[in-house]
Chains A and B, each alone.
Chain A
Amino acid sequence: MSLNYCLLVLAAPVSGHTSLTAARFGAALLSRGHTLGRVFFLDNGTSNGLASAVTPQDERSPQQAWSELANTHGTELVLCVSSAVKRGLLDAAEAQRHGFPAATVHPGFILGGLGLLVEAMQSADRVITFGAAG
């Protein structure tokens, strides 16, 4: 039976490797024939979408791991707008609104309100949370 999943990611990429585990979990569920309509990044989790984060060459980039899901399976990657803006993650519209020269959100991600999490939970068979201490 195919299930519809929603992931909530609260862990920042710099705090352990929880967010990479979450991205691998996303890929694994898709390869088992399930669907992943939306991943919602909240609180420290929003820094997964920071375009200017540079991952050392011998490490895996969380931005890339997540965008692969978006590109191949159309999974929507939503950063909670209030958590994101606080952390300097701005899309083109927010950058313009706050007077910054350029967007800092990776193009694979979009900003959105908590309503998008609520909506995803409503239609999901499974909601899986990934958090990290610190």
Chain B
Amino acid sequence: MSVTTEGGVLVVTRHPQPGRSLARAALDTALATAAFDQPVNLLFLGAGVLQLLPQQDSTSVGVRNLRKVIDSMPLYDLERCYVDADAVERFGLTAEDLPCGAVLVGREAQRSLLDSHQHILGF
């Protein structure tokens, strides 16, 4: 995989959703950046890939469904969503589980993403 983006913001999201509002804050930040027409990419790293589990049902808890937010991202011009390939395998997610447009990235590509953006926000 080649990473061509120069500049822009990389939002790295590493924590799963339940019990934490940090995952949601990372998505909101990425969406806001895109809404202001600034280049932004999202990297789901480590346990952060668990945010991508499909069939999330948050109605009984009464919080927002994070996966629905993630699936809405292409609407906001936030098309690039990079996902830690090792973590996907470790947690048993499959290609069908991942949102449309997700790109699996190994360690070297993850490092290139860190290198190719102007700012990194670690959530």
Contact = CB atoms under 8 A, between A and B. Distances in A.
**A/B contact in complex, CB under 8 angstroms:** yes
Contacts of A94: none
B29 A114 contact: yes
A114 B32 contact: yes
Interface stretch (A48-56, A66-74, A115-123): A115-123
B29 A42 contact: yes
A10 B22 contact: yes
Interface stretch (B73-81, B86-94, B115-123): B115-123
Interface in A80-134: 80, 82-83, 113-115, 117-119, 121-122, 124, 127, 129, 131
A131 B122 contact: yes
B25 A117 contact: no
Interface string B24-51: 0100110011011010000000000000
A124 B118 CA distance: 10
Interface string A1-41: 00000001010000000000000000000000000000000
B58 to A, nearest CB: 16
Instruction: Specify which of A121, A129, A131 lies most central, judged by the most chain B CB atoms within 10 Å of its CB.
Output: A121
A44 interface: yes
Task: Give the size category of B's interface with A.
Answer: 10 to 19
Interface of B: 9, 21-22, 25, 28-29, 32-33, 35-36, 38, 119-123
Nearest to B34: A118
A118 B33 contact: yes
A76 interface: no
Nearest to B122: A129
Contact of A121 (B22, B28, B119): B119
Given A115-B36, A129-B121, A121 B25 contact: no
A26 B34 CA distance: 27
Given A118-B33, A122-B38, A43 B122 contact: no
B78 to A, nearest CB: 13
A89 B106 CA distance: 41
Contacts of B122: 129, 131
B62 to A, nearest CB: 13
Given A8-B121, A127-B119, A115 B32 contact: yes
Contacts of A114: 28-29, 32-33
A113 B119 CA distance: 19
